[in-house]
Chain A
């Protein structure tokens, strides 16, 4: 059983640029969520995708967008990067239905915005 894998592990961007982060869900999972973890903070919910549609969104601006593909993999896109976007971005997958509360996280993509 493969876990959640994310790429890239680290990247550096400059303010105003755009970034795409990728995530492969754990085998058998059909729901994917993205979280942002700033330094010294707990993970913060960005959004969740189920059946290729956004299923819920946290308090993040529209320049944060996502996609879920038929194979349940996912992308997080951030446009017009700001310095405060520097954080660890965590992808988590789960299976909709009973047990859906337990998320399986990837190791994250660490984004630095200069």
Chain B
């Protein structure tokens, strides 16, 4: 039973355009969400996060939106750059002090120059 779902295995976007990566979750106990980026032969690196008390968090070119009623979050990258090409993982925690991060399967983003 996958509690965090990334239904698009891959996404291709032209350089300079917007990339939108989507993530759905089923566990209503999740209250903190993170996006990680992974390049080949490297570990995942933290990108941006959002608490369930917010509906938007922005950091430079990256914005994460959270729709709690729909149990959906999305990561927007504007403008997309070739260096953004990587696998993006959506992840979630449930509850304060929780130690277990639940990941989706990832979406491979390709930004075409």
A residues with a Cβ closer than 8 A to B are 4, 31, 33, 35, 40-45, 48, 50, 55-56, 58, 90, 92, 101-108
Pairwise interchain contact A42-B104, C-beta atoms closer than 8 A: yes
Q: Which residues of A have CB within 8 Å of B42?
A: 107
Pairwise interchain contact A42-B4, C-beta atoms closer than 8 A: yes
**Nearest chain-B residue to A3 (Cβ)?**
B43
Q: Which residues of A have CB within 8 Å of B36?
A: 105
Q: Which residues of B have CB within 8 Å of A102?
A: 34, 46, 49
Complex Cα spacing A105 to B46, Å: 9
> Which of B55-63, B66-74, B77-85, B93-101 has 4 or more CB atoms under 8 Å from chain A?
B93-101
Pairwise interchain contact A48-B105, C-beta atoms closer than 8 A: no
Q: Which residues of A have CB within 8 Å of B103?
A: 35, 42-44
Complex Cα spacing A35 to B91, Å: 13
B65 at the interface (CB under 8 A from A): no
Q: Which residues of B have CB within 8 Å of A92?
A: 43
Pairwise interchain contact B106-A42, C-beta atoms closer than 8 A: yes
**Nearest chain-B residue to A97 (Cβ)?**
B97
Q: List 30 A-B contacts (CB under 8 A).
A: A35-B101, A35-B103, A40-B105, A42-B6, A42-B89, A42-B91, A42-B103, A42-B104, A42-B106, A43-B44, A43-B89, A43-B101, A43-B103, A44-B103, A45-B100, A45-B101, A45-B102, A48-B100, A55-B99, A58-B100, A90-B44, A92-B43, A101-B32, A101-B93, A101-B101, A102-B49, A104-B46, A105-B36, A105-B45, A108-B43
Given contacts A101-B49, A101-B93, contact A33 B41 (CB under 8 A): no
The one of B46, B91, B99, B102 in contact with A48, judged by C-beta atoms closer than 8 angstroms, is B99
